[in-house]
């Protein structure tokens, strides 16, 4: 990466641009999540078949994420992000067009692959802005992702309540989000590789030190993916609610995630990554118990809200630690993201398979057990926490003291 001197105003503008890209990325996910029941009915799928199809999203992401670093090296971060965010927003249309299981699997594979590449590119730019500002911003950026997901899910909730066909809904959402995403990506930092810098490998594995951190992220992504993809189905099938109320459950989950992530930087700076994640694991486990034991829709909705609150900052902390671990943030993030997003590959199919064999209640018992793992194993983030603090401290020491 070229050592370019950016003006502080330029870096602040780039931070806002990256935040906007995170918002657009989240809005696509929120739009999709609230219409999963419609997609299930449109393709005439059982719970097990739906879980199988949803697994292709994480499979596509896991296959494609390692390519993002090479794309950014080849075209520069700004051009790469513009192309990848457009690919992601437009891919939203595909799942609504699939009339059967196999075409839905293909559509969701492309959807997941484009999501993963855009995800790595924007997180790498977030880490670069964080490095230049000399303070933690990653939780806040992921908070903007959650805010975007909330906006997308709110629109999806309205569409579901009105009984709207998902095909025109997704087409209009994709068109608007593509315009916004490309415009925002055009204002991010244009990070270029150094003249003698070798291109990153096509497939990057995380360093050994990141494996346990990735395992913690695995637990969080499993709970997040299960809640995003199955919360509406759980309320509709288990609680016999309306489509609008079921979709509102997904919205509530995303709302608590957005609040926790937006305020997460201040919390982590005050209490540290380990204590923050440990407390979050306790909240997520409590939310899982409420879901499993729920006899009324309000109890289940509260459980999903607590689940979102508990897991919100885990993935941003994992990505931030990975991004500060070496000279190639996109490569390190891609490696750790491959571990964590493999959880997204397992979660939809496992939730659907267990539900097919037993019930969705048992499926969310598995989610609750993994949430407990966050509280138990949060200590492995201590090394990443030290790395981030050391990086911030060294940057602060490099700034001349303006006092005489």
Same domain flag for 284 and 176: no
- pLDDT for 254: 79
Convert the pLDDT of each residue in 243-275 to its tens digit: 888 888 888 887 888 888 888 888 887 888 888
Query: 42-51, 183-192, 201-210, 293-302: which range is least confident on average?
Result: 201-210
The two counts, helices (H) then strands (E), for the chain are 18, 0
Strand, coil or helix: 15: helix
pLDDT of residue 400: 46
**What pLDDT, on the 0 to 100 scale, is given for residue 189?**
86
**Amino acid 399: pLDDT:** 45
Please check whether residue 402 lies inside any domain of the structure: no
**Is 332 within a domain?**
yes
Looking at the fold, whether 57 and 116 belong to one and the same domain comes out as yes
Pair (168, 219) in one structural domain: no
Residue 403 is assigned to a structural domain of this protein? no
- Tens digits of residue pLDDT in 346-377: 776 788 888 888 888 998 999 999 999 998 88
Mean pLDDT of 121-133: 85
- Whether residues 145 and 294 share a domain: the answer is no
Quick check: is 372 in a domain?
A: yes
In this prediction, residue 397 carries a pLDDT of: 52
Q: In terms of domains, do 244 and 345 share one?
A: yes
pTM here? Answer: 0.77
Q: What is the pLDDT of residue 21?
A: 96
Say if residue 245 is in the same domain as residue 126.
Answer: no
- Whether residue 63 lies inside any domain: the answer is yes
Q: Which of 334, 285, 318 is nearest to 388 (CA)?
A: 318
Q: Dihedral (C-alpha) 15, 17, 18, 19: value to the nearest 10 degrees? A: 80
The answer on 367 and 329 residing in a single domain is yes
Query: How far is Cα 150 from Cα 255, in angstroms, rounded to an integer?
Result: 6
Mean pLDDT confidence for 57-85 = 87
Confidence of residue 401 (pLDDT cuts 50, 70, 90): very low
Asked whether residue 143 is domain-assigned, the answer is yes
Percent over 70 (pLDDT), the chain? 85
Q: What single DSSP character describes residue 72? A: H
Q: Is 295 helix (H, G, I), strand (E, B) or coil?
A: coil
Question: Is residue 197 very low, low, confident or very high in pLDDT (cuts 50, 70, 90)?
Answer: low
Q: What is the pLDDT of residue 329?
A: 60
Quickly count: other Cβ atoms within 10 Å of residue 11's Cβ: 17
CATH number at residue 55: 1.20.1250.20
Shared-domain flag, residues 172 and 308: no
User: Quick one: CA torsion of 231, 232, 236, 238, rounded to 10 degrees?
Assistant: -10
Close Cβ partners of 198 (under 8 Å, ≥ 6 residues apart) = none
pLDDT at 389 over 70: no
Q: Please return the burial class of 182, using the count of CB atoms within 10 Å of its CB with bins 0-12, 13-18 and 19+.
A: middle
Share of the chain above pLDDT 90, in %: 35
Q: Are residues 237 and 120 in the same domain?
A: no
Number of neighbours of residue 202 by Cβ within 10 angstroms: 9
Gap between the terminal Cα atoms of the chain: 35
Q: From residue 359, how far is each of 48, 204, 223, 242, 356 by CA, in Å?
A: 11, 38, 17, 20, 6
Tokens 């609008």, located at residue: 244
Give residue 185's pLDDT band: very low, low, confident or very high (50, 70, 90).
very high
CA 46 to chain centre: 26
- CA-nearest of 141, 60, 147 to 337 is 60
Q: Categorize the per-residue pLDDT at 195 as very low, low, confident or very high, splitting at 50, 70 and 90.
A: low
How far out from the chain centre does Cα 79 lie?
Answer: 22
Q: Does residue 401 lie in a domain region?
A: no
pLDDT of residue 132: 83
Task: Give me the number of domains the chain comprises.
Answer: 2
Same structural domain, 258 and 160: no
Mean pLDDT of 77-86: 93
Indicate the average pLDDT of the chain: 83
Q: How many other CB atoms are there within 10 angstroms of residue 372's CB atom?
A: 16
Pair (32, 89) in one structural domain: yes
What domain range includes position 217?
A: 208-393
Domain assignment of residue 404, yes or no: no
Clarify whether residues 218 and 364 are in a common domain.
yes
């Amino acid at each position: 990466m070229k050592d370019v001197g950016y003006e502080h105003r330029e870096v602040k503008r780039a931070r806002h641009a990256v935040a906007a890209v995170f918002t657009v990325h989240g809005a696509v996910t929120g739009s999709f999540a609230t219409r999963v029941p419609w997609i299930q009915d449109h393709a005439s799928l059982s719970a097990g078949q739906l879980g199988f199809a949803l697994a292709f999203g994480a499979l596509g992401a896991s296959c494609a994420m390692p390519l993002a670093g090479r794309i950014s090296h080849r075209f520069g971060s700004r051009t790469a992000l513009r192309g990848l965010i457009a690919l992601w927003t437009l891919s939203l249309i595909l799942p609504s067009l699939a009339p059967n299981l196999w075409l839905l699997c293909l559509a969701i594979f492309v959807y997941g692959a484009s999501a993963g590449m855009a995800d790595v590119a924007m997180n790498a730019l977030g880490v670069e802005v964080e490095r230049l500002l000399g303070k933690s911003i990653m939780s806040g950026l992921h908070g903007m992702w959650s805010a975007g997901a909330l906006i997308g899910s709110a629109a999806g909730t309205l569409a579901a309540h009105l009984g709207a066909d998902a095909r025109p809904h997704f087409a209009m959402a994709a068109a608007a989000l593509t315009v916004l995403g490309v415009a925002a990506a055009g204002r991010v930092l244009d990070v270029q590789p150094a003249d003698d810098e070798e291109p990153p490998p096509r497939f990057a594995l995380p360093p050994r030190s990141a494996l346990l951190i990735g395992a913690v992220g695995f637990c969080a992504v499993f709970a997040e993916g299960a809640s995003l993809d199955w919360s509406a189905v759980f309320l509709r099938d288990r609680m016999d609610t309306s489509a609008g109320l079921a979709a509102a459950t997904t919205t509530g989950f995303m709302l608590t995630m957005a609040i926790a992530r937006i305020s997460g930087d201040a919390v982590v700076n005050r209490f540290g990554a380990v204590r923050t994640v440990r407390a979050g694991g306790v909240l997520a486990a409590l939310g899982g118990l409420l879901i499993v034991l729920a006899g009324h829709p309000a109890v289940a909705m509260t459980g999903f809200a607590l689940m979102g609150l508990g897991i919100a900052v885990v993935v941003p902390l994992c990505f931030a630690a990975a991004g500060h671990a070496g000279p190639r943030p996109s490569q390190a993030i891609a490696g750790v993201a491959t571990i964590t997003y493999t959880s997204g590959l397992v979660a939809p199919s496992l939730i659907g398979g267990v539900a097919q064999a037993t019930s969705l209640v048992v499926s969310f018992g598995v989610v609750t057990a993994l949430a407990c793992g966050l509280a138990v194993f949060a200590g492995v983030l201590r090394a990443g926490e030290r790395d981030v603090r050391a990086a911030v401290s060294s940057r602060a020491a490099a700034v001349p003291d303006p006092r005489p």
